[in-house]
Structure 1
Amino acid sequence: MFTGLSAFPLTPVTTSGVDERGFRKILARLKAARVDSMGILGSTGSYAYLTREQRKRIATQAKQLAGDIPVMVCVGALSTDAILHLAEDAQSAGADALLLPAVSYQSLRNEEVFDLFATVTRQVSVPVCVYDNPGTTHFTFTDELHGLLSSLEGVRSVKIPGVPDSPTAARERVDTLRKYLRPGVTIGVSGDAFAGLGLKAGCEVWYSVCGGLFPETAKQITEAAAANDHARVTVLTTRLEPLWALFRKHGGSIRVIAAAAGVLGLTDTDCLPRPLLPLSAGDIAEIARVITMLDLK
């Protein structure tokens, strides 16, 4: 399941709690597009803001709605005990894989992160993807640590935060990391603006926020990459620069994607967990214009 397009949907949260109806509408788009997998409760899925019970219910709903599409569930939390409880819930819900970040309040050491992954992989029966996202977790993985983690039998993929912004440097980055990884462990690019560079550099999977709301648009890119049509990958990803610009303008993707889900009528335009606030009416109008201009689907 760690290839192709892994779509990471929004978990819409309104004043009355998780908008389960909106969540079902979002997942219906992913199922209709036949994404390769779904990444539930990632950063855009607001895992850090939800209770254990809310996360268990969302994981259960996702698995029921996904049909035969594999589902990966994020089990990130501050303590190992909490992670193990979340992993148990996700497996009970039928998760096909777990996404595990090294979330830090106190600064973590490499040996502590290795012990975390070793503990989790010993106690779960589904594969694990390493979630490398220092911007949100405040822990930076080294290539050496990725190599050690890949020696654990349960680790099957690494989700990296992006690649350098030139084709040559991107290829060197992916090739260097791959030298440390056990054969068969895939590398997945996130940071949507870097998706084209990462896929052309040899990443096997795009862990995609864009794909979580606009799966048809994102799937065109991964299909071009699978066909080794690098020119088309470049054209398709460059075309989406106005969307990447919105992500940069608003400090990341979650506020943009939440507003976009509202524009599409899938949920309220105010669907972020507090203390996150919705964008202004003017910003939402700009997002609506970009959706129309790019014909995002």
Structure 2
Amino acid sequence: MQPGLCAFPLTPMRDESVDDAALATLVSRLVAGGVDSVGVLGSTGVCAYLSRDERRAAIDAAVSAAGEMPVIAGVGALRTRDVLTYVEDAQAAGASALLVAPVSYHRLRQEEVFGLYADVASSSSVPVVVYENPSTTAFTFTDELYARIAQLPSIAGVKIPPPAPGTAADRVAHLRELLPADATIGVSGDWAAAEALTSGCHAWYSVLAGLFPRTARALADAAAAGDADAAHQHSSTLDPIWSLFKEHGSLRVMAAAAEALGLVDAPCLPRPLLALDEHYRPAVEDALRRTGLI
């Protein structure tokens, strides 16, 4: 599986329920914008806040709107029992791959996380992507754990956090030595994408692309063409957005942007989550204008 530019849209809410129509509109924009795959129910898709029925509704809407485009569905949950239920639901709904994060309340141990992926791998009939996001799960994978998990059936690749500036080439090269040759190495943390993609990452799991696919496509294409200068220039142009992501979190910034653009109803996040309020909204709109996104 080669997810390429994988765009992660919001799962917009309306009256505290999944707004299927708004999600379908967002996904249709991604298809028109030329992304390679759609990532539904990731962190941006607020999967941890949704019931089973809401998750299924979101996947159904995304798969229908995506057409032939692959949809990668997040299935993270606190209990393995529930994860396996979501695995079955996602596969039945037509997801092309699964995104699995080690969600926890009590901090998980390395062996517990390996057991989670072993259970998922044995239950999945589609590729599985390992999702490391310590800012939300408070769990950091060791390289040894990556290597063990990658040997399991159905494990297709890893989604790594943004490497520290100047370290992406060494990080990707080290992972390449540990993982099977056909395992995909993908990066999240949009501000790190230019360096990571020009350092050997196969995929970009992008929050920005979930709302502005053509802008992300231009950066990804420059990296794929081997034009590191152009890729970094595209990224530098987006520095006002990256600064807001780092200060407020990408979810709240993209929710505020989607509301400001009229693509979703406000409020679009499940309570208690809130998009940035009127105190910060002008900064989001200013950043969108400065970067040419509106």
TM-score using structure 2 length: 0.97
Task: Give the corresponding residue for 1:293.
Answer: 290
CA distance in 1, matches of 2:263, 2:122: 39
Preserved contact between residue 198 and residue 224 of structure 2 (Cα < 8 Å):
no
Q: Note the C-alpha offset of 1:18.
A: 1.6
Structure 1 contact 5–207 (Cα < 8 Å) conserved: yes
Q: What residue identity is the alignment partner of 2:24? A: R
Q: Does residue 36 of structure 2 align to residue 45 of structure 1?
A: no
**Aligned equivalent of 2:214:** 216
Task: Report what 1:10 is aligned to.
Answer: 10
The residue aligned with 1:173 is 171
SS in 2 for 1:281: coil
Determine the structure 1 residue equivalent to 2:34: 34
Range moving further from structure 2, 103-112 or 176-185: 103-112
* Aligned pair partner of 1:253 in 250, 253, 258: 250
1:182-261 map, 5 Å: 182-250=180-248, 252-261=249-258
Q: Which residue pairs with 1:109 in the alignment?
A: 109
Report what 1:141 is aligned to: 141
Alpha carbons of structure 1 residues 57 and 259: separation in structure 2 relative to 1, 3 Å: same
Q: CA deviation at 1:185?
A: 0.3
CA contact (8 A) 1:2 1:157 kept: no
Query: SS in structure 2 opposite 1:112?
Result: helix
Partner of 1:265: 262
- Aligned-residue Cα RMSD (Å) equals 1.2
State the identity %.
48
Map 1:35-114 onto structure 2 (within 5 A): 35-114=35-114
How far off is 1:277 after superposition? 2.0
What is the one-letter code of the residue matched to 1:57? A
Which residue of structure 1 aligns with residue 273 of structure 2? 276
Q: Would you say how many aligned residue pairs link Structure 1 and Structure 2? A: 294
Conservation of the 8 A alpha-carbon contact between 1:247 and 1:253: yes
- Could you tell me how far apart the structure 2 residues matched to 1:268 and 1:249 are? 24
Quote the offset at 1:233 in angstroms.
Answer: 0.5
Superposed CA offset, 1:151-170 (max 9, x none): 1121111000111112xx22
Q: Deviations over 1:149-198 (max 9, x none)?
A: 111121111000111112xx221111112211111101101011111111
Give the 3-state SS of the residue equivalent to 2:280 in structure 1: helix
